């Protein structure tokens, strides 16, 4: 089988399209973060009560670990 520049371009384009499609699908179906501002509203606690960062996000505090282990309900 002889490989010429047109064949190589077709293969490269196909591979690029497959990678792009896969990336888009992975991003589209990935699960959203589990923590939400709704938890803060429901519990009356600040985001910093469960997270080490006062604004939320990042590692959980010991209280946050208990909250998570308890099915996202106050321990």
DSSP-derived secondary structure letter, 43: H
29-65 pLDDT, tens digit each: 766 556 677 888 888 988 889 999 888 888 999 999 9
41, 47, 64, 74 from 70: Cα distances, Å: 18, 17, 10, 7
Neighbours of 67 (CB within 10 A): 21
CA angle 50, 28, 67 (to 5 degrees): 15
What SS3 class is residue 73? coil
Query: How far is C-alpha 50 from the chain's CA centre?
Result: 19
pLDDT score recorded for residue 15: 93
pLDDT score recorded for residue 42: 86
């Amino acid at each position: 089988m002889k490989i010429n520049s047109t064949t190589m371009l077709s293969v490269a384009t196909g591979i690029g399209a497959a990678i792009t499609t896969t990336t888009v699908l992975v991003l589209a179906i990935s699960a959203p973060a589990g923590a939400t501002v709704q938890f803060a509203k429901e519990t009356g606690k600040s985001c910093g009560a469960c997270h080490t960062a006062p604004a939320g996000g990042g590692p959980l505090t010991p209280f946050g670990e208990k909250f998570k282990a308890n099915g996202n309900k106050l321990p």
